[in-house]
């Protein structure tokens, strides 16, 4: 074995030859201090993986994950969902003319009607979403293009928005409220749902409040100067370039849903992580325990086509969906649990067979020399 020249004095940061020089400047050692932490002598625990510990772990994980996955998958499948595309790409689509002729500069809205039918009734509350595809709300410049101080009701930020909002910071020499690319691209299609009952159109009543997060509605978004007389508060500002009306005209009939605290606006301002997304538009509440919320039959979707998407090869759709205790329809989580549980259980069986077949602890006499 090789002998080591290490000694206790050097461990404490002193060289044995340093004192022989007789000088005043002792050479400082680069060795770490002789402490349990720096010398890695702290107590540690390392599990010893044996068949008696690994095999039960695999079986326990499999037996827990598989039932959970089945429950999640069944719960997701019980959620009813209907989706219809109304972009107007195909020439046979009722919205084809609107999609081809409508632009951001159009002054008159375009209307189209899409008929569809529901094969099964929708029970409980039904959530109505609008969906967009190929719309990258997660782009870095797009996400930063907003002024949170302005949206929180700061009067100074209202008149002098953040430079992050450029090029949607000012318009015609006046500050834009709300400023930024996110607010400028607000989704503004109007969707009305009708039920066709023996040839008679019956408007489906919807709820437009309660669709935004509570923290967004009551913490992050506030009107400057409160909710009273927003016309005066927003004097000296201009509407976003692509908007047809000012922010204080989003819902003038309801002061609690107008201006910066308009819930359609708040929902849009919470940017999506993926280019294909859906956002909550309205809620159809259940009327009684006897009749379904949306009975099976024929329906009519009246669309005020205000949002052009063909310029970026986008698609628009309307989604009707119920929810469960785990949220909306999402079979992936159940499939993932079942897959992981099945793999663990399968590995446990394979390792158990290998263990019984090749275990030599009790048959060491049979091992050849």
- Cα–Cα distance measured from residue 113 to residue 356, given in angstroms and rounded to the nearest whole number: 69
Non-local (6+) Cβ contacts of 358 within 8 A are: none
DSSP 8-class letter at 313 = T
| Strands of the 110-118 sheet, one edge to the other | 110-118, 297-305, 190-197, 200-203
Residue 14 binned pLDDT confidence (cut-offs 50, 70, 90) = very low
| Distance separating the N- and C-terminal Cα atoms of the chain | 31
Mean pLDDT across 290-305? 93
pLDDT at 72 over 70: yes
Which band of pLDDT confidence, cut at 50, 70 and 90, is reported for residue 63?
very high
| 169, 172, 175, 180: CA torsion to nearest 10 | -30
Question: Is the pLDDT reported for residue 362 higher than 60?
Answer: no
pLDDT of the residue at 31: 86
pLDDT at 134 over 70: yes
Per residue in 212-254, pLDDT (tens digit) is: 999 999 999 999 987 678 999 999 999 999 999 999 999 999 9
pTM above 0.85?
A: no
Per-residue model confidence as pLDDT tens digits over 312-341: 999 999 999 999 888 888 899 999 999 999
**pLDDT attached to residue 22:** 47
CB 355 within 8 A of CB 94: no
| Per-residue model confidence as pLDDT tens digits over 147-181 | 999 999 999 999 999 999 999 999 989 999 999 99
Q: Which of 177, 162, 186 lies closest to 242, judged by CA?
A: 186
The pLDDT of residue 49 is above 70: yes
Alpha-carbon distance 286 to 294, whole Å?
Answer: 9
What pLDDT is stored for residue 367 in this prediction?
44
Please give the average per-residue pLDDT across 188-211, as a whole number.
93
What b/e string do you get for 46-64 counting C-beta neighbours within 10 Å, with b at 16 or more? eeeeeeeebbeebbebbee
Mean pLDDT value across the chain: 88
d(CA 158, CA 226): 13
Percent of the chain with pLDDT over 90: 69
Q: What is the pLDDT of residues 255-294, one digit of tens each?
A: 999 999 999 999 999 999 999 999 999 999 988 788 899 9
Query: Residue 161: its pLDDT value, please?
Result: 94
| Residue 12 reports pLDDT greater than 50 | no
Instruction: Identify the band that residue 137 occupies on the pLDDT scale cut at 50, 70 and 90.
Output: very high
- Identify which of 3-17, 54-68, 283-297 has the greatest average pLDDT: 54-68
Residues 320 and 244: beta-carbon distance below 8 Å: no
Compare 77 and 29 and report the one with higher pLDDT.
Answer: 77
Q: Which residues pair with 319 in a beta bridge?
A: 83, 129
Q: Is the pLDDT of residue 11 over 50?
A: no
Kind and range of the H or E element at 304? strand 297-305
Q: Give the pLDDT of residue 361.
A: 59
CA quadruple 154, 137, 267, 212: dihedral sign: negative
Expressed in percent and rounded to 5, the helix, strand and coil fractions of the chain are 35, 20, 50
The predicted model gives 121-150 an average pLDDT of: 95
**Band of pLDDT at residue 358, cut at 50, 70 and 90:** confident
Residue 126 CB partners (closer than 8 Å, separation 6+): 283, 284, 293, 294, 320, 321, 322
Residue 159: C-alpha distances to residues 40, 222, 235, 258 (Å): 60, 15, 10, 19
Residue that wins the pLDDT comparison between 341 and 22: 341
Check pLDDT > 70 for residue 346.
yes
Q: Give the residue, 66 or 362, on which the prediction is more confident.
A: 66
């Amino acid at each position: 074995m090789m002998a080591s020249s290490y000694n206790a004095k050097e461990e404490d940061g002193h060289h044995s030859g340093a004192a022989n020089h007789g000088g005043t400047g002792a050479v400082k050692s680069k060795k770490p201090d002789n402490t349990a932490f720096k010398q890695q002598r702290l107590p540690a625990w390392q599990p010893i993986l044996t068949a008696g510990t690994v095999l039960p772990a695999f079986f326990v994980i499999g037996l827990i994950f598989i039932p959970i996955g089945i429950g999640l998958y069944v719960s997701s499948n019980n959620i009813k969902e209907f989706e219809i595309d109304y972009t107007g790409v195909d020439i046979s689509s009722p919205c084809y003319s609107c999609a081809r002729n409508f632009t951001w500069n159009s002054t008159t809205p375009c209307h189209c009607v899409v008929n569809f039918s529901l094969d099964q009734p929708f029970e409980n509350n039904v959530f109505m979403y609008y969906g967009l595809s190929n719309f990258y709300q997660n782009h870095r410049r797009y996400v930063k293009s907003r002024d949170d101080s302005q949206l929180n009701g700061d009067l100074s930020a209202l008149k002098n928005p953040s430079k992050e909002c450029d090029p949607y910071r000012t318009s015609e020499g006046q500050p834009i409220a709300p400023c930024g690319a996110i607010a400028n691209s607000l989704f503004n299609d109007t969707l009305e749902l009708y039920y066709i009952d023996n040839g008679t159109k019956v408007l489906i009543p919807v709820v437009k409040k309660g669709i935004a997060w509570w923290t967004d509605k009551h913490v992050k978004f506030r009107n400057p100067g409160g909710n009273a007389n927003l016309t005066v508060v927003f004097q000296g500002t201009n509407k976003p370039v692509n908007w047809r009306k000012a922010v204080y005209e989003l819902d003038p009939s309801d002061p609690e849903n107008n201006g910066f605290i308009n819930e359609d606006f708040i929902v849009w301002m919470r940017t999506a992580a993926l280019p294909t997304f859906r956002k909550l538009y309205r809620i159809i509440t259940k009327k009684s325990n006897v009749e379904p919320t949306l009975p099976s039959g024929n329906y009519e979707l009246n669309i005020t086509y205000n949002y052009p998407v063909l310029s970026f090869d986008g698609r628009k759709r309307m989604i009707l969906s119920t929810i469960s205790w785990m949220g909306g329809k999402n079979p992936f989580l159940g499939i993932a649990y079942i897959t992981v549980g099945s793999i663990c259980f399968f590995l446990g069986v394979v390792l158990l067979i290998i263990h019984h077949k090749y275990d030599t602890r009790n048959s060491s006499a049979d091992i050849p020399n």
